[in-house]
Chains A and B, each alone.
Chain A
Amino acid sequence: MIQRSLTLFGGLFCLILLMGWVMGMPFTSSRLVEAAAYALIALGLNIQWGYGGLFNFGIMGFLMVGGAAVTFISYPVNPVFWGSEGPMMLGKALLAFAAGALLVYAARKSDRIGITGKWKMALTVLAWFVAYVFYRSQLDPAAAYIESAAGGGWIGGLGGHPVLGWLFGGVLAAGIAYVVGKICLGLRTDYLAIATIGISEIIRALIKNMDWLTRGTLTVSPIPWPTPLPQEFQAGGMNIANSLLGARASYLLLALVVLGVVLWLISRAYAGPWGRMMRSIRDNHVAASSMGKNVTARQLEIFVFGSVLMGIGGAMLVSFVQIFDPSSYQPINHTFLIWVMVIVGGAGNNWGALFGAVLMWLIWVVSEPLSKTVFEFVSSWSTQFGWGAIPEIEARSAQMRVFVLGLVITIALRFAPKGLIPEVVKRET
């Protein structure tokens, strides 16, 4: 088992070296930083699915939340906004939100004063409606004002350190995961999958369209790095290639530190009584609940933990590429890709998830240039035979990776359903 893992990781290392040699070190080093962030995200899913058996198809939503969080914390302050009426109006909208929440809460508790059954239902629906209209009546003018020139266009950032932003990404993701988990975790697996996709789509629609908060499709950049940028290395007299490498290496180092700490923490937790309980809940739902363990609370815990890692990972990715573009988020790239990572690597095994994340990310990024090469080869060959060239090679190669992703997952499910580095099943007594 250990030997198998070592061989696989060794192979992966060779693959990275090969990639560095063929595609160049600057390209490879960037991909490695991203791979580290994806590894963190995959660990998050591994906690939820591998440990807890919870189906989360809403990863994209948590990545977006992390990205928005780090943008908000680390982007420079927008003085126009803070000097305008905007903050005041937003405050009012927030109050309206709180009032609405209170109203809905009161309606849901109306059975205390003897309103029950259909009447309570009607009252609750009415409360929701009133709260929604009231909130919109406060928010819409505020949003319109902030988006105008007088309001500064959007609220801007806080100018804090990016690592604080990552943490905030984790916290925000935790908050959302708590709410989502609270309402959805009782559902059976396939319903949970659909519900989480639905929620992540709602999050995407909100972040994409709340221009006053996130700048929406206008995108935000450049978002600062937690480590010195290549330009700063160059200012120190380094040449461009070395500065790129140096900057990315230091970012990678930071990412690896975060990854290492997380890995150490969850491995420890999983080896202890907490992990034992998680496994017993996953493998035998009924027995665990009859043993008096509070299954729902534990599952909520696990859902929140996993989502925190997704939030942090999403924030790390956005910091690295320096741009937050809500329209670049797609379920294929940001939810299904992660699933493929965990399943190919081995659900329930952290090293498996880690391995799968790095491997799949590399496959994902090289399948485009690789298929381009193949297409060009075939194209030149077919031209020689007088069959004409393949049109639009660029666009077509870009699509190949989606196909490759699908192929990999179907093959994995068919021939290695437990993944390349499967979970080590412990016999518990």
Chain B
Amino acid sequence: MTELIFFTNQVIISGLVLGCIYALGAIGITLIFGILRFAHFAHSELMTGGAFIAFLLASAFAAWGIVTPIPTGFVVLPIAMVLAAIMALGIDKGFYAPLRKRGAKPVTLLIASIGVTLMIQGLIRLFFGAGSYSFFEHEPKEVFRFDMAGIGSTRPLVITEPQVLMILVTLVSVLALHFFLTRSRLGKAMRAMADNADLAQVSGINTALVVRVTWIIAGALGCMAGTMLALDVTLKPDLAFNIILPIFAAAIVGGLGQAYGAIAGGMLIGFAETLAVFNWTMLLRPLNAILPDWMQLPPTLALVPTEYKLTVAFVILVVTLLVRPTGIFKGASS
């Protein structure tokens, strides 16, 4: 039983947490691709920037002496998301909209997004240095340990408070997004524009409005993902820059342009990463008792060494691109 609890801690919980963050990031990328048809690299900076906004707000709360029952990072999240959405709109207006107006090719927009990445990255480092920050300087990070002796485990089930909240918040956001896309007028218009932008225009859909809504959602969800990642680990200027490729992998595996695909892709990449570096000996150790001597399990039995964890996502990405570029949910291929 101990082994099973260990597996839950190491794979199920971590995979879920990672999957949530990847999924939230990938939704933004996939929506932007669906509507504007370009790979938005600067999405990482929407995430990191959003996390820093949340961090500043949380620090302000602490300075004003406001104490909250749940981690302040989650309390300020709604405000931070609004600000991040405004930031996303500003970035589009300042950098991408002029290029679109000129009729620039998607590749040009992609390169422009690299420029935006560098600028925001530079600005963040300029103001915050290259060090890392913690949301939990003024309050404790609560860790729940569930004693599992009842089912014969010597290890407790461990999950932190931010992790619990993160999974809940992701679930709620995904449901909200689902209802938005399938029930609301604007959400349906967004799907229509992703499906066939010319026809959407012909139908009288206000495409400029749809573009704005897309940036708002992408910015807000990006901020959510970035903040929650920072709450789970630490906040640093290259927080999301380092994981933008796994997030792209999630979006592509799920099929670019497909919101539900992005969620599935995020979970898939998250679990693949944790499973690939998991030391199977820890789970299968009881087998040693029945295996003959020459077949005893080695002390570490992982598919890839831990230092190659991020590489797993790249390999999945490359294989998906080669075997099924439209992704498992058959996204926009043209």
Contact = CB atoms under 8 A, between A and B. Distances in A.
Note whether A and B contact each other (Cβ less than 8 A). yes
B129 A187 contact: no
B interface, by DSSP: helix, strand, loop or mixed?
Answer: helix
Given A194-B248, A399-B125, A406 B118 contact: yes
B39 A193 contact: yes
B310 interface: yes
A201 B311 contact: yes
B288 interface: no
Contacts of A340: 115
Nearest to B308: A205
B121 A339 contact: no
A198 B116 contact: no
A424 B125 CA distance: 40
Interface residues on B, range: 35 or more
Contact of B121 (A191, A205, A395, A402): A402
B249 interface: yes
Contacts of B315: 198, 202
Contact of B106 (A190, A209, A339): A190
A195 interface: yes
Contact of B126 (A55, A189, A400, A410): A400
B114 interface: yes
Q: B95, B123, B305, B321 — which one has the most chain A CB atoms within 10 A of its CB?
A: B321
B118 A194 contact: no
Given A399-B125, A407-B119, A339 B111 contact: yes
A399 B126 contact: yes
B331 to A, nearest CB: 11
Given A201-B311, A414-B98, A403 B118 contact: yes
A184 interface: yes
B104 A417 contact: yes
A247 interface: no
Nearest to B305: A209
Interface of B: 38-39, 95, 98-99, 104, 106-108, 110-112, 114-123, 125-126, 129-130, 245, 248-249, 252, 305, 307-308, 310-311, 314-315, 317-318, 321-322, 325
Interface of A: 55, 183-184, 187-191, 193-195, 197-199, 201-202, 205, 208-209, 332, 336, 339-340, 343, 392, 395-396, 399-410, 413-414, 417
10 contacts: A184-B318, A191-B252, A198-B314, A201-B310, A202-B318, A332-B121, A396-B126, A403-B121, A406-B119, A413-B115
